[in-house]
């Protein structure tokens, strides 16, 4: 399923949902950021559960769900395969006892 977003090149809201494209983009950025933080910068006591769920979400090719990793990456013009590769590399570093190189800013 390829996702096409109404008004993605405009500031008009979707007539069915009333959501502006910028709001959808911000939501998708937040979902992707939360998943990466759950893996590389956990803030919860039961962080292993969130980490495993985030890794599963990133590695699953779900073309049906609007909020799947692959559809969010497509909407944000991010190469999902490259991002998966980066996550794999950094997870491999962690498995070898090395620190990951993923950095988050407060912006």
* pLDDT tens-digit readout, 29-87: 999 999 999 999 988 788 899 999 999 999 999 999 999 999 999 999 999 999 999 99
Dist. CA 69–CA 28, nearest whole Å? 9
Residue 67: which of 80, 52, 82, 57 has the closest Cα?
Answer: 57
pLDDT band for position 102 (50/70/90)? very high
Rounded to whole angstroms, how far apart are CA atoms 8 and 77? Answer: 12
Can you give the pLDDT at residue 47?
87
Segment 15-36 mean pLDDT: 85
6 pLDDT above the threshold of 70: no
Is a pLDDT exceeding 80 seen at residue 106? no
What mean pLDDT is predicted for residues 6-24? 61
Check residue 76 and give its pLDDT.
Answer: 94
* Burial per residue of 72-90, b for 16 or more beta-carbon CB atoms within 10 angstroms, e otherwise: bbbbeebebeebeeebeeb
């Amino acid at each position: 399923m390829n996702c096409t977003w109404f008004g993605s090149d405009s500031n008009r809201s979707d007539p069915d949902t009333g959501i502006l494209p910028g709001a959808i983009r911000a939501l998708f950025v937040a979902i992707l950021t939360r998943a990466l933080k759950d893996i590389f910068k956990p803030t919860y006591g039961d962080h292993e559960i969130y980490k495993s769920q985030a890794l599963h979400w990133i590695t699953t090719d779900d073309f049906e769900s609007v909020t799947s990793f692959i559809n969010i990456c497509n909407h944000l013009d991010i190469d999902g395969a490259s991002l998966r590769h980066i996550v794999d590399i950094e997870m491999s570093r962690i498995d070898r006892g090395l620190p990951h190189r993923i950095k988050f800013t407060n912006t």
